[in-house]
Structure 1
């Protein structure tokens, strides 16, 4: 009985320590680097049955790479460390990088975490083939949620309507600790006159638990994601290096 009590006490202490660590992680700055790439011809050559009426929607709580509060960006640009992998994907001949960024972000628990708007940036001012968002949050572990889509354009403006990325209706500073103070998506943009259409849309909706310092790969017949979340020291955070 004594051994059982000791074991229970040890388990309780371990759980308490893990819980304390999880609390300490919230509000911590991490460095994130993400690559989204397509498989060239993946939608045409795959035997996958693409959804006929996919639900494509940007979240109500979001930020993008231009969002700032108090004059400071919420997603602070950082130096990329996976450029060799991006180059290898482009050299392969059957894959092409659509998105590659590195940034620093203060991660919060999921209820306080905004989605990050993602697009390929290949057609400035117009509809990108890559759209959607990713959400990074932290509890006991790092968590990634993807809501990404890759579209095959329609030639005759018929098919699946693609929602336009949301735009901020206000420039008021954001309070990331308030679940009510994120940028609201503008619903009336979903079917705006300049909406474009797709013949096919591939969805990449996944939940992934991650550890810092590990490169994670999320696969799909049409496109995929490479992502790494790195811890940074207090000195690095203070110097911005």
Structure 2
């Protein structure tokens, strides 16, 4: 693993906190590929008004480079919270000025790897497959990431957002969440939609704009010498962390004018699939194809990445 990426993962491990492994959790390496099927838009008659929503509680995948950008701009107290949101801050909350980087794990804790952190592209088993599909088959990759995570029973499973639309003034093509859970079988639940130009619909018709995800980037106000909060300055997004001039306590999108919905329609992919580990699973859909593989990590393998980092 490249040295820079290893350092960023170690930083994430400390900022998220390290605890003893929950015996009821099973850890997996997850690889997910979402792609657009060629000629899929005209494959069938789509619901003109699909019910699109994000769940009330969700979490995000963390890009270590986005955290690094926040720390370069705001200081090393910028950290990742329990839902994968990057909190850009100059003082870590509740630490009395102690940087999160200085915190270690309890001596008796079993080290855990950083969950829900995007792995380097070299860790993706489907890289060559995805490239071939695009080159030879006309399939278009919309999302392709790999990460580690514990998988719990459905009552504790938290949906994972694939987009960060809450940090931007406009809408990405692909939005929505997936949820992984474990009972007798592994289970994948998809709640994804693809925003389209709607050329298959009557001319001039446009559906209402779909919702956006909650913010994945939070800006924390540093305290000034007199104990008051710094004046907010809007305009930070995950894409321009290096250019923001201050750290307001607000979501990143606050103060950014909302752009008009640039699409006319959205096609929903909503399925539930039982799965087995160590196998590729394909969820068929006329427009949005999904390939996923979950590889179980044994106890030694769970601790090993954290120790290596």
- TM-score over 0.5 (shorter chain): yes
Find out whether 1:162 has 2:210 as its counterpart. yes
2:181 corresponds in structure 1 to 137
Separation in structure 2 between the aligned mates of residue 96 and residue 169 of structure 1, nearest angstrom: 28
Alpha-carbon displacement from aligned partner over 1:123-150 (angstroms, at most 9, x marks no partner): 9763111111000011111110000111
Pick from 167, 170, 181 the counterpart of residue 126 of structure 1.
170
Structure 2: where are the runs of 5+ without partners? Answer: 1-21, 63-79, 83-99, 102-112, 221-250
1:198 aligns with 2:239: no
Structure 1 residue 76: deviation in Å? 2.8
Question: For 1:55-106, what per-residue CA distance to the aligned partner results, in whole angstroms no more than 9, with x for missing partners?
Answer: 1101111001135438885403332111122112111242111100001011
Correspondence for 2:154: 110
Deviations 1:156-183 (A, max 9, x none): 89423121121259799xxxxxxxxxxx
**Contact 1:164-1:195 at 8 Å conserved across structures:** no
Ranges in structure 1 where 5+ consecutive residues have no aligned partner? 1-23, 173-185
How much does 1:153 deviate?
3.4
Tell me, yes or no, if structure 1 residue 75 matches structure 2 residue 116.
yes
Q: TM-score, normalised by structure 1?
A: 0.71
Whole-angstrom distance in 2 between the partners of 1:154 and 1:221: 15
Partner of 1:42: 40
CA–CA distance in 2 between the matches of 1:157 and 1:68?
41
Change in Cα spacing, 1:148 to 1:165, as seen in structure 2 (3 Å) is same
User: CA contact under 8 A between 1:129 and 1:151: conserved in structure 2?
Assistant: yes
Paired residue total: 198
TM-score (norm 2): 0.56
Instruction: State the secondary structure of the residue aligned to 1:160.
Output: coil
Tell me if the contact between 1:32 and 1:228 (Cα under 8 Å) persists in the aligned partners: yes
Instruction: Give SS of 2:213's match.
Output: coil
Q: Is the contact made by 2:31 and 2:146 (CA closer than 8 Å) also made in structure 1?
A: yes
Do the aligned residues in 1 keep the contact of 2:25 with 2:151 (CA within 8 Å)?
A: yes
RMSD over aligned Cα atoms: 3.3
Contact 2:205-2:264 at 8 Å conserved across structures: no
